[in-house]
Structure 1
Amino acid sequence: MAQVKVIEQIDAVGLKELAQKAEKQPENYKLVSKATTVCKGGFLNYTYVRDLNPVVIDEPCHLFGSNSTPNPSEHVLASLGACLAVGYMANATSMGIPLEELRLELEGDIDISPVWGVAETPDDRVAGFTEIRVKAFVEGNFTHEQKKVMQENVIKWSPVANTIRNNVNLIATLNSEK
């Protein structure tokens, strides 16, 4: 019988300890995430997070970019996919089930007709995704009930899914350093 290949797991003990600490002191787990975006010319932008290499974002050629990297909306899909994948891995680890496959396919319907506020567009039109569809391929030695619980947890507790699903206060200011 062929041995089943599994995906590298995360630290189950560390995950359990983190969950216990968060349960006891949830106020210590409300963080501020920060990023700084710098335009390098045209629609090419570098976004810096912590001390990591920049996340490079551009637009495709038909939207006046150089098609060198994913655009901002595609990064939203990528962020959602990665966040959901983290949730699947965490839940599988918590259940003690090694994953054999974890792959998510995402697609979204998006309205870009307002052209970043440049086109004359009715005020009731909203730019952005109107629907995002996610197909998750998660394989491991799960029972039907375990898969159901995992799916519910992942969708309910994903920070990125909740950011997309819920209204979020967005406060934007225009500052001049000169």
Structure 2
Amino acid sequence: METWIRPPLRTLRCRTVARGRLQQLNYIRNLPPQQVEEAELETHLSESVAPNASEALLAALGSCLSIGLHANALAQSIPIRSLEIKVEGDLNMTPVWGSDDVQPKIIGFASIRIAVTVDADASRKALAALLEHTVLWLPVASTLHNPVHLDVSLAPPAAALA
């Protein structure tokens, strides 16, 4: 019987293609493209047809937490009947666009709050311990609260690749 060993590091990829103005299509594996768009400065977020990048990050965090909670609950034989996760974050947009007040301040989320509503066959104490354990092992949450190496470079012109 062959034993499969999980590689210690896995590379995930996303190709983002600008569609003009403030719209992007993100290609991941062979899935349908995911649209992300920034609302124009004079447009309200509610008028956008797709999430902006910061909202997509909150969705990734909530999805990661949901998957982690389900997996850890299963491992502990805790059946979950329902799970809802509300994620909200405070984001100062003025320095991002280079408008208004450009004095140095936090760029990105200053604070993110998560409220978890779970209906499961377990005590509140057990559910709190499950949540605490799960959050410690979330890759998206860890990326947000631990420094991560970010390597950005300019790719060669398309003509040089031909």
1:90–1:73 Cα change, 3 Å: same
Letter of the 2:14 counterpart: A
- Which string of whole-angstrom CA distances, capped at 9 and with x for unpartnered residues, describes residues 43-69 of structure 1? 110000011011110122446686110
Contact 2:22 2:40 in 1 (8 A): no
CA offsets per residue over residues 140-178 of structure 1, 9 Å max, x none? 101344213311221100000000011111111122324
Structure 2 segments unaligned to the other structure (5+ residues)? none
TM score, norm. by length of structure 1: 0.77
CA distance in 2, matches of 1:54, 1:89: 27
**1:54 matched to which residue of 2?**
33
- CA deviation map 1:7-39 (0-9, x unaligned): xxxxxxxxxxxxxx7xxx56x141001000001
Percent identity, please: 31
The counterpart of 2:70, out of the listed 81, 89, 97, is 89
CA RMSD of aligned residues (A): 2.1
SS at 1:60's partner residue? coil
SS at match of 1:114: helix
User: Which whole-Å CA distance do the structure 1 matches of 2:96 and 2:138 have between them?
Assistant: 30
Aligned counterpart, 2:102: 121
Asked if structure 2 preserves the Cα contact closer than 8 Å seen for 1:46 and 1:56, the reply is yes
Higher helix share: 1
Residue 45 of structure 1, aligned match among 4, 24, 39: 24
What residue is the counterpart of 2:61 in the other structure? 80
Secondary structure class of the residue paired with 1:139:
strand
Unaligned runs of 5+ in 1: 1-20
Higher relative contact order (CA 8 A, sep 6+): 1
| 1:3 counterpart residue number | none
Contact 2:90–2:110 (Cα < 8 Å) also in 1: yes
Q: Please give the TM-score of this superposition, normalised by the length of structure 2.
A: 0.84
Q: Which amino acid aligns with 2:92?
A: D
Distance 1:177 1:118 in 2: 33
1:54-93 superposed Cα distances (whole Å, 9 cap, x missing partner): 1110122446686110100000100000000001100111
Alignment pair present for 1:168 and 2:129: no
The one-letter amino acid paired with 1:114 is: P
1:98 aligns with 2:79: yes
What is the rounded CA distance, in whole Å, between the counterparts of 2:115 and 2:23 in structure 1?
30
Relative to structure 1, is the Cα distance of residues 58 and 132 closer, same or farther in structure 2, using a 3 angstrom cutoff?
same
